[in-house]
Amino acid sequence: MPDYSQDLSIPQRFISPAINPFSVKNRELWEDQIRACLAFYQIPADRPLAVQISRFDRWKDPGGVIEAVRLARKEVGCTLVLLGSTAVDDPEADVILETIHSSADERIVVVSVEDPLLVNALQRQAAVVLQNSIREGFGLTVTEAMWKGAAVIGGNVPGIRRQIRNGENGFLVETVEQTAERIVQLLQAPVLRKKIGAAARESVRENFLLSRLVDDWIDLLGSATAPQAL
């Protein structure tokens, strides 16, 4: 991130990550594939889905996500799905996961697996994708969801701000209340969801696919091998 650059005597370049649109996690899926995948994991699809896909750690604020969805459910019906895994080097991981499980109910589904096909299916099925991070270096799950045309609500932190232009191709939020308001807004406005999702996909096509990453590396290597003026 340019935000984290240091005062060094050598050149510094920012190259953002990118996704492979043909991977299992990102390739196109048929509707029956999506339904079958959700059914396999017993994820109910009878109400709109709000989804957060991330590690279960405090920097992703899963507790804030649960609180926001519960606030939103006072006005709209939806199911929250939290999909993720714990980091083996995080001493808080087991406690956080236990806390999340204790907060679950019939409309808060916690799934702890590593399945790229499920990630794909959830991001395509979701009415709203959340990435309520308190800290985020970039957030590839945001890019992945935007590529699928999802309406994404993300924490207003540097990495996510590189991807989301607030109100244009997604929404940036800073509090539980703001998150809940955006969930309600998007669930009540399918036309807005479609517009935001279309802009999100186009922004990923322009900025965060492997073709752009290859160009960045070629430019970097070219600049490193170019003769220097004396």
State pLDDT tens for residues 25-57. Answer: 999 999 999 999 999 999 998 999 999 999 888
Alpha carbon of residue 119 to chain centroid:
10
Cα–Cα distance for residue pair 38/105, rounded to 1 Å: 18
Cα–Cα distance for residue pair 201/208, rounded to 1 Å: 10
**Domains plus CATH for the chain?**
30-205 (3.40.50.2000)
Residue 227 confidence (pLDDT): 61
Taking Cα atoms as reference points, which of 13, 10, 11 lies closest to residue 2? 13
Cα–Cα distance for residue pair 67/176, rounded to 1 Å: 7
- Which secondary-structure segment (H or E) carries 67? helix 62-72
Q: List, for residues 92-138, the tens digit of each pLDDT value.
A: 777 888 888 888 788 999 999 999 999 999 999 999 999 999 988 88
| Amino acid (one-letter) located at 226 | A
Report field, pTM of the whole predicted structure over 0.75: yes
